[in-house]
Amino acid sequence: MRWRSLIVVQVMLFSAGVAASRAESKTEPKLADCFNVRWSSIQFNRSVVLRNPAQTPGGSQPTSSESLTLSCEVEVRDPNRVLGISREATIRGMTGGAGREINAESPPSRRPQYYEGLRYRPRMLPPSQPPRWKRVMRSLLRMAPKRTSPQLVTELQPSTLVMEFDPVLLAQGDGEITHIEGYFHALVAESLEYIEVPFEPNDCWVRLTPELEIRVREAQCGQSRYEYHIETRNGDVGGRPFLRVGEPMPGRLVFCRQLMDADGKRAGHFGPMGRLPGHIGGRGSGSGPNVQIEAIRFVIAVRPTHRKVPFALEHIPLPDPTPPAVAPQDSR
């Protein structure tokens, strides 16, 4: 591959347009179709702390705390539309087991919320088997069975969403949350651009955004291992803090980098793997069977915006805060 094939740019437009970048979030009901939210667990915790009065004056009295946490899994049905979601949800309304409405609207959070990238997990697929008729033909022709290698794929995993409740809900809910609705934040881009550079050392700088350029200083790929070093200048996006909900977004954001093989398929992990944005510059390496890296792809999010995604859940049982009775042990 020569530098004359310097850059490949592809643009993917979403069917639903998004307005220009703003700091505020807007609710987009249609975007809810891109997600499936289901509750996974609800947990009640109580802790009691006793301190040594000899080391903590006035601390002989026990202190206690309680917490009630609902955890949910968020299945992302259209990962090409969504860059990341917030981990915390905001509650708008809730109904208890007796049909009584519970005042459970979430107060404004004092701590900042950050976006997390979509999560992927590598998995090795067993070798594919040719159709039976092909196997029969090869046997009749006395040809050796065709051997295939296992294939490494990366699967999208559900994201996590949590909601904190006042433990007083256990007394108000009559044993169940009949209905709960709220929203979480998603970071969505109007379009994505893909900029690819050859996987080889070069002195040329390539501009990704008005603020950022990159160049490949080192790139080596053997039969089972690869290494590379990418330099940046004019604002290393890979070194910026995590993206925060509500902060102003640039018109073009370098979302992540990906490694591509000779067939144009992704050979490395698919995205920032929890960190948003992902690393752009710096060193990287990896290994695998018959690894052949041909290009480095940079994913550019064009006009990313904050969106509120509504959701609703029903029939969530509440845990019993009463400690289980301990059966007396036989002293015999």
**Sign of the Cα pseudo-torsion (244, 250, 252, 257, in order):** negative
Task: Write out the residue range of the structural domain in which residue 176 sits.
Answer: 3-48+65-317
Domain count, the chain: 1
- Whether 274 maps to a domain, the answer reads yes
Nearest by Cα to 262 from 295, 222, 226: 295
pLDDT digits (tens, 9 = 90+) for 180-237: 999 999 999 999 999 999 999 999 999 999 989 999 999 998 877 889 999 998 754 4
pLDDT digits (tens, 9 = 90+) for 86-101: 999 999 999 988 788 8
- Whether 105 maps to a domain, the answer reads yes
Mapping DSSP to helix (H, G, I), strand (E, B) and coil, where does residue 177 land?
Answer: strand
Q: How many CB atoms lie within 10 A of CB 187?
A: 25
pLDDT for residue 184: 94
Distance (Å, whole) CA 103 – CA 328: 41
- Whether 328 maps to a domain, the answer reads no
pLDDT digits (tens, 9 = 90+) for 35-89: 999 999 999 999 988 888 778 776 667 888 899 999 999 999 888 878 999 999 9
- Whether 325 maps to a domain, the answer reads no
pLDDT for residue 277: 79
- Whether 29 maps to a domain, the answer reads yes
Angstrom CA distances, 176 to 37, 311, 315, stand at: 18, 18, 6
pLDDT for residue 330: 61
Distance (Å, whole) CA 271 – CA 305: 19
- Whether 140 maps to a domain, the answer reads yes
The whole-chain average pLDDT of the chain stands at 80
Q: pTM to 2 decimals?
A: 0.75
Verify cis geometry, omega within 30 degrees of 0, for the bond prior to 79: no
- Whether 53 maps to a domain, the answer reads no
- Whether 82 maps to a domain, the answer reads yes
CA 29 distance to own-chain centroid: 21
Distance (Å, whole) CA 273 – CA 284: 14
